[in-house]
Structure 1
């Protein structure tokens, strides 16, 4: 927005522009039109090098140029704004991170009292050490993201040192999928000889989800995480829709035992990347099966929106999640395998639409 526009808006509101307003001019070409001569070297420069007309425009709009705040940057320049590095993405300066690591190291090796004294004597800070470090590490997480490995490393060290003031560390996509997808096993119905297996997963605001055909006719249902196959939890069917082949299971599994996926907010199209998760032919020692592929079609079958995928959805993966590129649930694995010509998942919209009226 131009300075003139800033002034007009402020005049209508009856307020004055702040004294520290920052204006930025940018272009894909050198900004030669801003200067009386050639552009100056990158860095701070004298406002006297600007064209008279531009300086006059500042003055007429109520601005006074601070000589210490006038900078020029070419395409090779390092961009730093309020402690942030601006490259392809916004990032935290490595010196900022290095100082946090150094402070944590002092606490780990010499104790909090020594670090607190250093903070006051060397840097003149009166703040409590825990609050000081918490704020700085939180800033790293705010800029880089709560699942960023650097933030997670700093926060983990901080939490060990200050357990009463812990920072929240969000799990990574890999950690979520490792603990959100479980094996579902049932007896009864068509399973006259032993148990039948499928996949179930935890979904935020919904619960434990699977495919209806994985539990249809069951007299007894259990779920367990593959890392603890002997620790089985009995569950029951809370809601089901045979037409959509969906079921939500009632359970009493402690929340500390699992993570939950988010529901995807994307609008899908053919060619989008997807990841199917599940436990095909699960046996002792097996781990989650991760199959990457693409959406090949978005058909509607008997009024149910579906997602056709390129990867094979083998028997045992039914009821598992189909994830989008963000690791959120795009669909529920439905049908596929070597004997099937096409592989489908029920679109997650079918689940949310059903639950909204169930």
Structure 2
């Protein structure tokens, strides 16, 4: 009965800006339960996931009488068509590719809304049809739905890998009570390849499609507290996200699609100058980064990451600005990170800075500040 509707939806999806579409049953994802429980018990979850495991694997707990799930994928670009201006002596940071262009949550919501409107128009005589759209902030696990719907397979890095676009896709889904014929799931095609596992700089990938999310550099760039020392040099000059496990994947070789204008990145936003970020106002932050998905955690994490990136880039010209931050910023995390960066950047033992840090140490009550001051003093004295 719904076979023609399914074909019409597939055709319509191509006209409303959906690159891949598939249909899955709404049966529980029972096979994921043990793994999810193990990950949570091991402390491998990020805390950004939906907290209720039962709701993550049982569509019938979040939707009345689900019959099908429509899964969609949109391909995003991986290369800049235009680079930001190079300024002598100033280094730039970068955002991971998934944060280029307008926030993908907004793009997916718009596409899902248009798809639902199309279906409603075709089924206007049936008022019993219902829908629940969601993106990665919803209950279900996007990659599990997409894999079941035949959009691609789940790689050893835990990402969905499509034949056409590799893993450079945004995913969304719609639960509905329409009983569509499901498509065929795709099994893993990673074979013996372990490039993503071998080249992950923090050993976050566990080898079976799961990860210790707290060791993932993408997670580390999104935290709001002090970044642990072991991760600081590993983020290099990336101030949001991490693309390494995608960049090294053979299925992503040569993949670069510029299909959707709203996904085209602004070079000044996705590769920003680092030094100006240290003292930017909330208004300036919103103007430059507000449209990006990478702005969702606010200004502080990105400023902290920019400080770390300056140290990793060895931009010694930033030392005066970092000292200003230490003196004037009211946020302990930013001040403490700047202290670490200054100690890392100065080429030799600097008595003046050493004296300044020791003076700060005598009056400082914040734990993060005390820890970084102690570390910085030891670092400078060893030079």
Superposition TM-score, scaled by structure 2 size: 0.23
Superposition TM-score, scaled by structure 1 size: 0.24
Structure having the higher Rg: 1
Name whichever structure is richer in strand by fraction.
1
Name whichever structure is richer in helix by fraction.
2
